[in-house]
Amino acid sequence: MELQLGLALPSNPTSKAFDLNYYGIEANSKEVDHVIGPCYTPSYENINDIINIDNNNNNKRSFGQAFENSTRDRVVPRTLPLLLWNNNRPNEEDDPKDLENHSLFAANKNVGDGDGVVGWPPIKSWRKRLCHENQVVRAWNNNLMVENGYVCGGRRASNSMYVKVKMEGVVIARKVDLSQHHSFETLTDTLMDMFRKSCEKNSNNYKLIYQDREGDWLFAQDVPWRTFIRSVQRLKLLKSSG
Amino acid sequence: MKMMMGSSFPEEVLEHVFSFIERDKDRNAISTVCQSWYEIERWSRRRVFVGNCYAVSPAILIKRFPDVRCLELKGKPHFADFNLVPEGWGAYVAPWIAAASSAYPWLEEIRLKRMVIPDDSLELISKSFKNFKVLVLSSCEGFSTEGLAAIAANCRNLRELDLRESEVEDLNQSSGHWLSHFPDNYTSLVSLNIACLNSEVSFTALERLVGRCPNLRTLRLNRAVPLDRLAILLHRAPQLVELGTGEASDLRPDVLSNLLGAFSRCKELKSLSGFWDVAPGYLTGVYPICPRLTSLNLSYAATIQSSDLIKLVSQCQNLQKLWVLDYIEDLGLEALAASCKDLRELRVFPSEPFGVEPNVLLTEQGLVSVSEGCPKLHSVLYFCRQMSNDALRTIARNRPNMTRFRLCIIEPRTPDYLTLESLDMGFGAIVEHCNDLRRLSLSGLLTDRVFEYIGTYGKKLEMLSVAFAGDSDLGLHHILSGCENLRKLEIRDCPFGDKALLANAAKLETMRSLWMSSCSVSFGACKLLGQKMPMLNVEVIDERGPPDSRPESCPVEKLYIYRTVSGPRLDMPGFVWTKDEDSALGLS
């Protein structure tokens, strides 16, 4: 139900009962340069000028060295979960403004969210907040056995609260179940144990930071546990310089 | 049929005839018949829909249609819902309201989606339009309860105030009390949706308002209205047709019985929503009205698990629309398929979208069951973690009447879990069998092949969403060259670059908009497109600084192309770059 104010009608760009320019509609009548390509027609012939395409319609379809990855129906191994897959260089900073991050598409190159993918899965922010709150409340209710807690009928959904943890300098990230912890002490102990093989033994050499719901990175020790647990999205252990 | 010249019919007769023609497409068509019909039509057009607020300017609109009563505007692109559009991009409605305030004194309805509306504009609305009746703000932002207070205080004829999913700032002074700004002699409220408001509203004011508005049909409360007060409101408004509850985590028998009593008096109630943090025991209060329900939104109800959901939906034989969390699981969807033969629309949202492991037993099977059991099902939004080509083929064959099919397999590039192949064939079956498909969202592992199918069969497709799919420009070319009715195309994280875009440049003028982010389009191509296609605004959204500081072949972050008759917009923020940014080219 769109307003079509003198714009080219989709099916027949040339037929008009009268010149809409006469009525003061700002239609621009400049010709489209043919360098771009003629008005769209659904055929391959137009694109041939620009892309070298094999028009035989057989199974092999390669065009240009730039597109040698073109494949069809190949059997692929099961994709690794995106959240763990880390194609970045080991010491890559999670700085969204880093200009070196501009290479060609790759799922993990979305900036602004650390190692996560911005805007995926496609659910609205307020729904995401709701999900997160519910996760936390469920984890709490399990651990603290709140007296007046609500009664859940039926099969319970999982109560764990796994978040991703990355240690600076270590390529492989880990996951930790935050619902098992109630203080930073136990959490850092567990984390250091997790990364035992990859790092220095002394936990004092690492600072724990977390990303909150707004996407900001904060020092975990700066906030009370309660605040932390309600908004943490992921964790990082940074080497603290002396 | 004898042809009558336009001039032999008095204008009033034509105007009267035209008053029966409401659809925009039809009115556009009659406006092209001849000059006099064009004139009569434009003076008599009362309802205008602008799908992209930057496609036309207020001045152009007012010049052509001098007496509009209902205005609908949409602003930001759809992907703004998922935080892909940076803050400050645009979609400011203030200039529209300012222009309308002097040009359209008889304006009655304003509907906005994804726009920024400040309190000043709300106040201006409340004071400029004496007969103002309907305000719908869908996913909007920029305003506070102060603005709402102005609407309440000044719009004597207000029928509908609907804030769906907007972000409203609660200012402490008027928090909750904006409702009391409705004067005591104000009685015309028909629909009120404040579900998105975070803080409390004054219950006394709410109760009095509900009590004195006999035509109130829709009441969607926000979370802060406790369930124990709901019965009071229902007693005041037993004529309600649509209700959204607040939250109620403590199950109290007296509250439950009050609720049962109140619901039993609401003979017209057909639509329910809300249920935040609801103790499942309260659901029994809803059972008596289940058989009458046509619409049920339980997608905020994270406390209700599969067995309770099954008990509930099994009693809703007349259900047409269900929005629910994936707690319903495959078993619940089977029950739905068995009980709700009138189901038209299903949306299943993920309860734990960021978990890597599935937390519920919801698979492709649930959707297959519903597609088998519900012959009228035509609109689907489904989040799940696994899918197969077989399932998609079955769904396609079961439901050739599908018009909207949005599937989100949560992990990008997930293959068919049975064969480990791509899902090209499955989605191909969807477009091939569902000839009336207007909207499609893809996910999972997909090659260029799927786009070939879409281009071949998706002739009625109007909106397509693509993510993490395809192998090359050929994919994009298939879409742009094949989908004749395509209006909106949104793409993220696909290996589509300059070639397909430039080869199909003219196609872009036939569409409302194209969004591409994290693809392989270069700034050079964007500039070229902008220069050669003056009817398009080609906006590069890139927060990394001037595109000139990077090689021309470097891909842009985000790209938003839309057709327009009003030229480049004047309110672009610093991170939006167009062809005019390059000093060498200057203004063309």
Block residue for tokens 């609660």: B170
CA distance B426 to chain A (A): 12
Instruction: Compute the CA torsion angle B126, B131, B133, B137 (nearest 10 deg).
Output: -40
Instruction: Give me the number of domains chain B comprises.
Output: 3
d(CA B451, CA B160): 42
Q: Which residue of A has its CA nearest to B550?
A: A99
- pLDDT at res. A109: 37
Residue finishing a domain among B216, B238, B261 = B216
Direct distance between the N- and C-terminal alpha carbons of chain A, in angstroms, rounded to an integer: 65
Residue finishing a domain among B184, B216, B248 = B216
Residue finishing a domain among B216, B245, B260 = B216
Angle at B432 between CA B426 and CA B435, to 5 degrees: 130
Q: Are residues B171 and B25 in the same domain?
A: no
CB contact under 8 A, B25 and A152: no
Q: How many CB atoms lie within 10 A of CB B172?
A: 8
Which residues in B lie closer than 8 A to residue A69 (C-beta atoms)?
471-472, 495
Report the relative pairing of strands B271-273 and B488-492 from DSSP bridges.
Answer: unpaired
Sign of CA dihedral B313, B314, B315, B316: positive
Block residue for tokens 């659901």: B283
d(CA B532, CA B505): 9
Q: Is the pLDDT of residue B318 over 90?
A: yes
Q: Are residues B88 and B202 in the same domain?
A: yes
Q: What is the pLDDT of residues B146-156, one digit of tens each?
A: 999 999 999 99
**CA proximity to B192, closest of B155, B231, B229:** B155
Bridge partner list, B37: none
Q: Which of B481, B495, B563 sits opposite A40 (nearest CB)?
A: B481
Q: Do residues A233 and A212 touch, judged by C-beta distance below 8 A?
A: yes
CB contact under 8 A, A131 and B351: yes
Q: Are residues B30 and B56 in the same domain?
A: no
- pLDDT at res. A59: 37
Higher pLDDT, B500 or A85: B500
B456 interfaces chain A, CB cutoff of 8 Å:
no
Reduced to 3 states (helix: H, G, I; strand: E, B; else coil), residue B464 is: strand
Q: What is the pLDDT of residues B106-132, one digit of tens each?
A: 999 999 999 999 999 999 999 999 999
DSSP annotation of B51 reads S
CB contact under 8 A, B543 and A97: yes
Interface probe for B, chosen from A137, A146, A150 (most Cβ of B below 10 Å), is A150
Q: Are residues B85 and B12 in the same domain?
A: no
Residue A128 in tokens = 């995401």
Q: What is chain B's mean pLDDT, rounded?
A: 93
Residue pairs spanning A and B at CB distance below 8 A: 282
Q: Do residues B362 and B326 touch, judged by C-beta distance below 8 A?
A: yes
Q: Are residues B166 and B78 in the same domain?
A: yes
E strand or H helix that includes residue B390: helix B389-398
Q: Which amino acid would we find at residue B11?
A: E
d(CA B357, CA A157): 12
* Residues in chain A where the model's pLDDT stays below 50: 1-115, 144-157, 242
d(CA B346, CA B352): 19
**Inside any domain, residue B351:** no
SS3 content of chain A, % helix, strand, coil (to 5): 30, 10, 60
Angstrom distances, CA of residue A60 to CA of A72, B201, B237, B420, B519: 9, 65, 68, 21, 25
**CA proximity to B204, closest of B177, B237, B173:** B177
Which residues in B lie closer than 8 A to residue A3 (C-beta atoms)?
24, 28, 48-51, 55-56
d(CA B393, CA B425): 8
- Strand residue runs (E) in B55-151: 70-74, 109-113, 134-138, 143-144
Q: Do residues B110 and B86 touch, judged by C-beta distance below 8 A?
A: no
**CA proximity to B122, closest of B140, B104, B146:** B146
Higher pLDDT, A138 or B478: B478
Q: What percent of chain B has pLDDT over 90?
A: 83
- Which domain does B524 fall in, by range? 517-588
CATH of the domain at B128: 3.80.10.10
**Inside any domain, residue B180:** yes
CB contact under 8 A, A47 and B499: yes
In this prediction, residues B491-511 reach a mean pLDDT of 96
Q: Are residues B559 and B577 in the same domain?
A: yes
Q: Do residues B463 and B487 touch, judged by C-beta distance below 8 A?
A: yes
Q: How many CB atoms lie within 10 A of CB B560?
A: 24
- pLDDT at res. B581: 61
Q: Are residues B20 and B135 in the same domain?
A: no
pTM of the complete model: 0.76
CB contact under 8 A, A153 and B305: yes
Q: Are residues B67 and B123 in the same domain?
A: yes
Reduced to 3 states (helix: H, G, I; strand: E, B; else coil), residue B457 is: helix
Reduced to 3 states (helix: H, G, I; strand: E, B; else coil), residue A235 is: strand
**Inside any domain, residue B393:** no
Interface probe for A, chosen from B84, B140, B414, B535 (most Cβ of A below 10 Å), is B535
**Inside any domain, residue B364:** no
**Inside any domain, residue B537:** yes
Angle at B116 between CA A113 and CA A109, to 5 degrees: 20
Q: What is the pLDDT of residues A173-204, one digit of tens each?
A: 888 888 788 788 888 888 888 887 766 666 67
Residue A55 in tokens = 């028009």
Q: What is the pLDDT of residues B157-180, one digit of tens each?
A: 999 999 999 999 987 655 558 999
Q: Are residues B212 and B64 in the same domain?
A: yes
ipTM field: 0.88
- pLDDT at res. B3: 53
CATH of the domain at B35: 1.20.1280.50
**Inside any domain, residue B532:** yes
In this prediction, residues B395-423 reach a mean pLDDT of 97
Q: Are residues B13 and B84 in the same domain?
A: no
pLDDT tier for residue B48 given thresholds of 50, 70 and 90: very high
Reduced to 3 states (helix: H, G, I; strand: E, B; else coil), residue B296 is: strand
Residue B81 in tokens = 């819902």
Q: Are residues B57 and B204 in the same domain?
A: yes
Q: Are residues B29 and B173 in the same domain?
A: no
**Inside any domain, residue B68:** yes
User: How many alpha carbons lie under 13 Å from residue A144 in its C-beta half-sphere?
Assistant: 14
**Inside any domain, residue B461:** no
Angle at B7 between CA B5 and CA B9, to 5 degrees: 85
Which residues in A lie closer than 8 A to residue B473 (C-beta atoms)?
51, 67
- pLDDT at res. A146: 34
Q: Which residues contact B150 (CB under 8 A, 6 or more apart)?
A: B119, B122, B123, B126, B127, B181
d(CA B229, CA B258): 10
- What is the 3-class SS of B176-193, one letter each residue? CCHHHHCCCCCCCCCEEE
Q: Do residues B481 and B455 touch, judged by C-beta distance below 8 A?
A: yes
Range name among B81-90, B221-230, B427-436 with the lowest pLDDT average: B221-230
Which residues in A lie closer than 8 A to residue B529 (C-beta atoms)?
36
Angstrom distances, CA of residue B140 to CA of A7, A123, A233, B108, B514: 28, 16, 26, 19, 21
d(CA B167, CA B116): 10
d(CA B486, CA B272): 34
Q: Is the pLDDT of residue B526 over 60?
A: yes
CB contact under 8 A, A121 and B56: no
Report the relative pairing of strands B345-349 and B321-325 from DSSP bridges.
Answer: parallel
d(CA B249, CA B412): 36
In this prediction, residues B438-462 reach a mean pLDDT of 97
Q: Is the pLDDT of residue B214 over 80?
A: yes
